[in-house]
């Protein structure tokens, strides 16, 4: 009986250990607007763009999180209307910038 319990405990510990190691490895790593892939390549993704937009907005004094920007289009529009001309987020906020709408 004790041997059976010990083997169940070891199996559970191995499972949890493997799960804990796999968790952080699957996290998305961003550098500014770009996502760093496992092989070192960098690609522009909306996930990283929204995160960087939140960082820049907080530097301007706005209280906003990346999650709010990601899941609430009006919050993203509000932030872009306020800081959309900043060169760091110009591409992310392209659709919300008023100046470019009236350009020929």
The number of folded domains in the chain is 1
64 in any annotated domain: yes
pLDDT confidence of residue 84: 86
Q: What's the length of the chain?
A: 104
Structural domain includes residue 6: no
pTM of the predicted model as reported, rounded to 2 decimal places: 0.69
SS (H, E, C) 44-101: ECHHHHHHHHHHHHHHCCCCCCHHHHHHCHHHHHHHHHHHCCCCCCCCCCHHHCHHHH
Q: Which domain holds residue 71?
A: 29-101
pLDDT for 21 equals 47
Residue 9 lies in a domain: no
Asked whether residue 15 is assigned to any structural domain, the reply reads no
- The pLDDT, as a whole number, for residue 5 is 56
In a domain, 34, yes or no: yes
**Residue 103 has what pLDDT?**
56
d(CA 86, CA 61): 14
Residue 14, in any domain of the structure? no
User: Block means of pLDDT (10 residues each) for the chain, length 104 residues?
Assistant: 59 52 68 93 95 96 96 95 92 81 54
């Amino acid at each position: 009986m004790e041997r059976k319990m010990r083997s169940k405990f070891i199996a559970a510990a191995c499972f949890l250990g493997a799960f804990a190691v796999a968790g952080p490895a699957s996290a998305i790593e961003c550098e500014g607007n770009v996502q760093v892939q496992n092989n070192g390549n960098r690609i522009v993704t909306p996930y990283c763009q929204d995160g960087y937009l939140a960082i820049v907005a907080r530097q301007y004094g706005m209280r906003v999180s990346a999650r709010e920007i990601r899941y609430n289009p009006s919050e993203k529009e509000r932030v872009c209307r306020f800081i959309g001309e900043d060169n760091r987020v110009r591409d992310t906020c392209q659709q919300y910038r008023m100046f470019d709408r009236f350009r020929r």
